[in-house]
Amino acid sequence: MGLTSAPQSSAPTREAPSPSSRLRDPSRSEVLGVVRVVPEDEGTCYSRLQIPLDAEETAGVRLRANTRAGLVPGEEAAYADSPADASANSTVELLSSSSSNATHSAEVAITAHDSAEESRLPDPSRLPYDDERFAEMLLEMEVNGVIDETWQDANRARLEDVKAIADILTSLKVRDLCCIDVSEKTSNFDYIVFGTCEGARHIHLAAWAVQDADRVHRVSKIRRKRTDELWEVVPVGRIVVNLMVESFREEMTLERKWAVTRSMDPLGAANAPISEGRQVKAHGLWTLTLNLQDLEDFEVDYCKDILMRQM
């Protein structure tokens, strides 16, 4: 009595995909949940926190007063003691006043041209930089990419986002909110926000709320450190939010340091008189970046991980 085997199909049987394989499938974005699509109206500009902006706010880009990115080839940069277009304005005024008198127009034009040429040359008693060799070294470092100081003038942080962050922190009972516009002082970020929390749990809750407001652009959660029980820094684009306990905030006094800091432009260190020393005028956080070896550990971490990461 022979046993006949059932005919086997030549085509292999297709197994059902396991749940783990479906999670690894890049085509199933709804399973991964990392694609954030925010509905936006056509023709409307939004801030980083998805706040609609008016047409006047997005019409033009506001340049910094001390920017070097806005200079055209051949244009002189502004010195510390005089504006860059002072000679050009004087030439225009002389030429416009001489238009009524045709006999003296040529003489006035020649005089204006000579004065403009003389004004381009540095006055021996007032040089463009007090330490020219130091200024040339800094400019060479910028060209070679050693100092990443580009003074960006696009994608500026919006004041609407700062107000939204302040409303979030106020709703969470964060006290003594302070916001400083540092766009003219550094190119790393535009606004720096300070707030006082009651403890470590309050700091973590407020930091989570700020990060959740930036969930459209945030890729991953910021790694916490040991000092986060007293102080946590939350960067929101070009806005840096500092959440501290009251005792630590009084010890750091970062508001005072940013208020007295005139600029973190490297060339600003070459404008201080040599007799007084460059360190006298380069106070504030610029002094912190110059003297990292003399700082406490938390200040070194702040300068390296936060300031340098925003460049």
Name, in order, each residue with C-beta under 8 angstroms of 4's C-beta and a sequence gap of 6 or more.
none
* Residue 241 pLDDT > 90: yes
- Region 177-203: mean pLDDT is 88
pLDDT mean across residues, the chain: 64
Q: CA-CA distance, 282 to 289, in Å (whole number)?
A: 10
Q: CA-CA distance, 161 to 241, in Å (whole number)?
A: 12
* Residue 174 pLDDT > 80: yes
Tokens 């940069």 belong to: 77
* Range with the poorest average pLDDT among 124-128, 237-241, 253-257, 266-270: 124-128
* Residue 177 pLDDT > 90: yes
CATH, range 159-307: 3.30.460.10
* Residue 59 pLDDT > 60: no
User: How much is the pLDDT for 37?
Assistant: 60
Tell me the torsion sign for CA atoms 88, 90, 93, 98. negative
User: How much is the pLDDT for 189?
Assistant: 82
* Residue 304 pLDDT > 80: no
232 or 108, which is more confident: 232
Print the SS3 string covering 43-106: CCCECCCCCECCCCCCCCCCCCCCCCCCCCCCCCCCCCCCCCCHHHHHHHHHHHHCCCCCCCHH
| pLDDT grade for 93, boundaries at 50, 70 and 90 | very low
* Residue 82 pLDDT > 80: no
* Residue 195 pLDDT > 70: yes
For the ranges 17-26, 101-110, 267-276, the maximum mean pLDDT occurs at: 267-276
* Residue 266 pLDDT > 50: yes
Percent of the chain scoring above 90 in pLDDT = 15
User: How much is the pLDDT for 74?
Assistant: 57
Instruction: Specify which residues 248 forms β-bridges with.
Output: none
Percent of the chain scoring above 70 in pLDDT = 36
Residue 130 CA, distance from chain mean position: 28
Residues 201-231 pLDDT 10s: 999 899 999 988 887 776 666 666 555 688 8
Where along the chain do its domains lie?
Answer: 86-136, 159-307
- Region 49-55: mean pLDDT is 69
Structural tokens at position 221 = 């959660």
- Region 106-114: mean pLDDT is 49
